Amino acid sequence: MSLRLLILVLPLVSLILSACEEKVSDYKSTVYVFGTLVEFIIRDADPALAEKTVTKIDQDFQRMHKDWHAWKPGGELQALNVALSEGRVFEVSDFTLPLIRDAIRYEQLSNGLFNPAIGKVIDAWGFHADEMPTGRLPDFDEIKALAAKQPSMSDLNFAGHLVSSPNKAVSLDFGGFAKGVALDHAVKVLKDAGITNAIVNAGGDLNTLGSHGDRPWRVAIKHPVKWGVIAGLDLGDDENLYTSGNYQRFREHEGVRYAHIIDPRTGMPVDHIVSASVIHENGGLADAAATALTVAGPEGWYEVAKSFGVDLVLLVDAEGTIHMTPKMAKRVSFPDDKKPTIVVSDPL
Ligand code: AMP
Ligand code: MG
């Protein structure tokens, strides 16, 4: 991670949790994985147990990072991607198979807007790199030709753990929901260790367990355009908050921004400004849904939310208007000086 990014991320993490009063009994630890800092706050636990448990989770995270990495050699997903692009059959491990099954389901639920099989398109845009790409843009005709091959999770054939694809354009990229799966796993390990109150925060995407003492965990949703927060809310036990936005990572060329979130129908970056937040007990699903809602945008979010069955959704559009489900509207509060325009509608 570059120093600049570190300097940006550190205050952000503390800002997100700024509402959480510090107690001496809080155990805090930060690990670096998936290109971001993951902060653990664990309450009411023996510090030695908390430390041991975070160390175990960090080891699991590092394995996920290696084996679920879309393009770095040495891991399982990258090896699978090479096999698929060469038309070969690949034997997938028990560790990765459930993730592939989830990816198939999320693509179906999103009606193809969330498509973890478009790794080649994401790569063609230069986003398979640790740093943001600069310089010449890719050839748009080549991008469109790649998208026209319609890579899809539904191309995959299974014989037990053996996976193949007749469509060589399929390349798996789980960047849109792997963090959610990882944080779900982290909370499971904390629970198994007997820990009852914790929050695991990966740069604003977070899972909770229990409460913050005698009140719920209080968190904030980042403003999509400006520095700071747009709304605050309390999260109950096992509620997880995921936010996706096409402003988060992008490349810039001649004043135009090209976002890291791609519309699979065209292969082009999502160009409406939008930030989508979802609360759900399944962090992987919330993460996938937030990315799908970002692709759908202010016009199409309704259908996607309905299909995913998510009833706690908040979307911010380019004008700063907030679109919310009724349940979310009851939960959020806004800074007094910044009352936004709000549209509430119920997709369910
Ligand atoms: P997130 O920050 O959770 O919205 O995930 C963004 C990441 O998901 C990108 O960096 C890509 O790796 C991947 N991605 C981009 N577009 C899509 C899409 N339409 N469907 C699924 N994954 C995508
Ligand atoms: Mg996501």
13: pLDDT strictly greater than 60: no
Mean pLDDT of the chain: 90
Q: What is the pLDDT of residue 76?
A: 98
In 3D space, the residue among 198, 235, 206, 240 whose CA is nearest the CA of residue 50 turns out to be 198
- Taking CA atoms only, the protein residue closest to ligand 1 atom 2 is 244
Sign of CA dihedral 173, 177, 183, 187: negative
Q: Which ligand is nearest to the CA of 36?
A: 1
**Distance (Å) from CA 48 to ligand 2 centroid:** 33
Q: Which ligand is nearest to the CA of 204?
A: 1
CA distance 65 to 61: 6
User: For residue 289, what are its two tokens?
Assistant: 């849904």
Q: What is the pLDDT of residue 70?
A: 96
Pocket test for ligand 1, best of 153, 261, 293 (most atoms within 8 A of CB): 261
Question: How many Cα neighbours within 13 Å face the side chain of 95?
Answer: 13
CA distance 88 to 181: 27
**Distance (Å) from CA 174 to ligand 1 centroid:** 7
User: For residue 148, what are its two tokens?
Assistant: 């026209």
**Distance (Å) from CA 283 to ligand 2 centroid:** 9
More reliable by pLDDT, 215 or 4: 215
User: For residue 47, what are its two tokens?
Assistant: 């510090």
**Distance (Å) from CA 282 to ligand 2 centroid:** 12
1: pLDDT strictly greater than 50: no
Q: Which atom of ligand 1 is nearest to the CA of 288?
A: 3
194: pLDDT strictly greater than 80: yes
Q: Which residue has the tokens 């799908």?
A: 292
What does pTM read for this prediction?
A: 0.92
13-27, 45-59, 97-111: which range is least confident on average? Answer: 13-27
